Amino acid sequence: MVVAISVFSMAARKAFTADDLVGTWKYLISDVPPEYESGLLVFEQKENKTVGYVEAAEKNEMKELTVDQGKVTFTTENQNGVFKYNFMQKGDTLTGTIGSQYGDFPIKAVRQAKK
């Protein structure tokens, strides 16, 4: 019975984390030129799946998006290359790194209030 409860609680935690991610998050990247340092992460629930996009100078779809026990990872691609995002979620804050051909940079995102 303990094993069954553990399995259900892990599944519930994973589902809660994915659902809890839905919304608009404003991000700030450290140590990059001003034109690249801020934008939005938008997470949506479509057909029982979490999807999203990054919106800055242009809108880029999140690819390979995974959400597991507070860890959020995905990639985006544009004319400047491929970018890999790695976050840990704590409530309404995502903290982590964004990796690119230019190096790895600290990134932090905060959930925006629903309008």
For 15-60, what is each residue's pLDDT tens digit?
A: 444 668 999 999 999 999 898 899 999 999 998 889 999 998 789 9
Query: Which CATH architecture describes the domain 2-111?
Result: Beta Barrel (2.40)
pLDDT at res. 11: 44
pLDDT at res. 2: 41
- pTM for this one? 0.81
pLDDT at res. 17: 47
Radius of gyration of the chain (CA): 15
Across the beta sheet with 81-90, what order do the strands follow?
59-61, 49-55, 38-46, 23-29, 103-111, 93-100, 81-90, 71-78, 63-68
pLDDT of 14 strictly over 70: no
pLDDT at res. 9: 41
Q: Is residue 52 within 8 Å of residue 62, measured between CB atoms?
A: yes
